[in-house]
Structure 1
Amino acid sequence: MDKQQQYIRVFRHLDKNGDGKISPSELQICIGDDLSLEEAEMAAAMMDSDGDGLLSLEDLVNVVEGANEEEKVNDLKMAFKMYEETEGSGCITPKSLRRMLRKLGESRSFDDCKLMIAKFDVNGDGVLSFEEFREMMS
């Protein structure tokens, strides 16, 4: 079953009355008693792309995919911190890259690390910023 089919299956499960839209009350039912109808209406309004106060399949996919993207960015930030020169410095240097690669059991020379960084160093400053690291990992 591909991802789109999984989304359709989940959507149909949430769409209790089968009208092709998830209403705030249907959203409230699937999330549970912790969510008031007013909160469900606010959540539906935030996720709704066409302004009708109801969620379409496309809205559901956008929410899930958006959450997945946020998770990916958070994971990349954690990985970046492992390679960072010093915590909060905001860059990966050849020295810090070499140090981390050694910890991972891969021995590289300082010059090798400079070349690795140069491949993705967009602004030519000799280090990788988070955005350059993110581009490298994509």
Structure 2
Amino acid sequence: MLPKKAAEKPSLLLLPSSLDVDGEFEQVFHYFDEDGDGKISPVELRNCMKIVGEELTEEEAKAIVISSDTDGDGLLAFEEFVKLVGGQGEEEKFRNLMEAFKMYEMEGKGCITPKSLKRALGRLGECKTTEECQKMIRRFDLDGDGVISFEEFRIMLL
């Protein structure tokens, strides 16, 4: 349902609390690690956050990395990444997930429609037809109503 890059590079703030450290955390880590060196740099962190609509300044990205960098190399290793992402409280995760949902919801209907998805993807530089958006929604539309509710959105990101 998200554009390919956004779906591949979820926001640190949007990661659900039930991510399996051995599987999903590792997968997310590799998406953030754009150059495949096994570490996430402040630049890689900024790039990934920008894709999902979160703007970080260079200084903010460096501060986030430094705050979790236990070995002092200025980069996030996998274990450091897990501690950073896993450190959010449930309330904060819910709030951030709701904010992400609202980026796509846009019509005030409490759900993501093909029209609102098309508009959101366009803002992210992904031009899709309404029909393509309908197909994307169908993949995650658990109740078959043609739209994505918040609960379906939450499940999609799990």
Q: TM-score, normalised by structure 1?
A: 0.49
Computing the radius of gyration from Cα coordinates, the structure with the larger value is 1
Higher relative contact order (CA 8 A, sep 6+): 2
Q: TM-score, normalised by structure 2?
A: 0.43
